[in-house]
Amino acid sequence: MYPTDDSVSIDQLVLDPYPIYRRLRAEAPVVAVPAVGRILITKAEDTQAIKMNPELFSSDDPDTPMERAFGAKTLMRRDGEDHMRLRKAMMPSMSPGQVKRVWTEQIEQIAEQYIDRLPRGEAFDFFADFAGPYSARCVALVLGLPSASDQDIQRWSQVLIDGAGNFGGIPELFENTDKANREMNDCIAHSIKEKNEYFEFSALGVQTAVADPIEYEHIVSNIKIAIGGGINEPRDSITTVLYGLLTNPEQRDAVVEKPELFAQAFEEAVRWVAPIQVSSRRVTSDTQVRGIDIPQGKVVMTVQASANHDEEIYEDGHMYDIFRKNKRHQAFGNGPHFCMGTHLSRRMIADIALPMLFNRYPKMELIQPAEVKWRGFGFRGPINLPIILK
């Protein structure tokens, strides 16, 4: 039977999980952690194999608070055809072709507008003043919700995340999700009625326009998943890239000189600190991982944050290094639930926002790097980034 490690606390994981994962990879790569209520899987080979085998490791976990928080069983908690049907309905809005043809020009305009309004020569918080609002605006555009404010989108996203992680059943968190669900439902209905000029290309538009559309409740829950899972990650990854580049001057000089390196800078940032650090899967029949028995019904947590630092793949995985030899990573997941927003995120951050920022402000500075705080167990990134644009 699997070993248990009760020395690990949630607080430690939220503050800095990486030393814990390093120890677990070496000593107990398959281990139950009572503080989390899951069996943690920390080696890259295992996390990948689990996600690639949905028959044995199902996404359908009836015991998570996600269904209560979203008011629906979302595509992330479905398997097989049931999952694919809902996924395929929304995917065309974020395909590489659609991102290139339709969204690139709009996103460039948003980036310009949001960079223009940043103060020059005085300190500001890049996380709160750019990363969050920029992510919210781009995602609102692609989803087809132009009337939702940046503040609303960010609040809805955070409230859904808090609700989906509300294992303790705190009533206030579900009251917040109920309120946010009502507001999102109104906003979605309003956007369908108003149909702005990009509606037909948007996630809402592609789902409602097909000849044989999925049911309205699924359209709504797909949009909510993209709000809950599409704001924090671009926000956290662009903040992480900036931290990585500004604390490594030779890498920063390299991207300024060769902007095509921004793609590497972005991929390395999500490898280094995965914005979604963990994903859960329920075991459908008795099995073994790394020779350790796991009974049917148990929930394993694949820790992609740990997989991305695995010594078997990466040398000095704890360092930010855009020139590292092995660049593949699991930050966007694996298998049938592979992130739907991958191309969109790359375009928003690596192709548009970073080159624009560094082109205008090649000498921007991170003041007091030691003041930057990193937080999060499920989702992780810096929660502040004091910058001066020069």
Q: What gap in Å lies between CA 95 and CA 229, rounded to an integer?
A: 17
Per CB under 6 A, 333 contacts ligand HEM? yes
Find tokens 């509606």 and name the residue: 199
| Number of CB atoms found within 10 A of residue 263's CB | 17
Per CB under 6 A, 264 contacts ligand HEM? no
What letter would DSSP give residue 312? Answer: T
| Number of CB atoms found within 10 A of residue 295's CB | 11
Strand partners, 361: none
Binding to ligand HEM by CB under 6 A, coded x per residue (else -) over 209-228, reads ----------------xx--
Per CB under 6 A, 102 contacts ligand HEM? no
* Residue (75 or 385) nearer to ligand HEM, CB: 75
**In what helix (H) or strand (E) does residue 125 lie, and over which residues does it extend?**
strand 124-125
Stretch that binds ligand HEM, among 37-45, 191-199, 270-278, 373-381 (CB under 6 A): 270-278
Q: What gap in Å lies between CA 385 and CA 390, rounded to an integer?
A: 16
CB of 319 to ligand HEM, least distance (A): 19
- Say if residues 2 and 284 touch (Cβ distance below 8 Å): no
Q: What gap in Å lies between CA 261 and CA 244, rounded to an integer?
A: 13
Per CB under 6 A, 270 contacts ligand HEM? yes
Q: Which residue is nearest to ligand HEM (CB)?
A: 341
CB of 33 to ligand HEM, least distance (A): 18
Per CB under 6 A, 364 contacts ligand HEM? no
Per CB under 6 A, 341 contacts ligand HEM? yes
**In what helix (H) or strand (E) does residue 234 lie, and over which residues does it extend?**
helix 232-246
Which residue from 87, 155, 290, 298 is in contact with ligand HEM, where contact means CB under 6 A? 87
Task: Tell me the two tokens of residue 144.
Answer: 């087809």
Per CB under 6 A, 154 contacts ligand HEM? no
Per CB under 6 A, 268 contacts ligand HEM? no
Residue ranges binding ligand HEM (CB under 6 A): 51, 75-76, 87, 139, 225-226, 229-230, 233-234, 237, 270, 275-276, 279, 331-333, 337, 339-341, 344-345
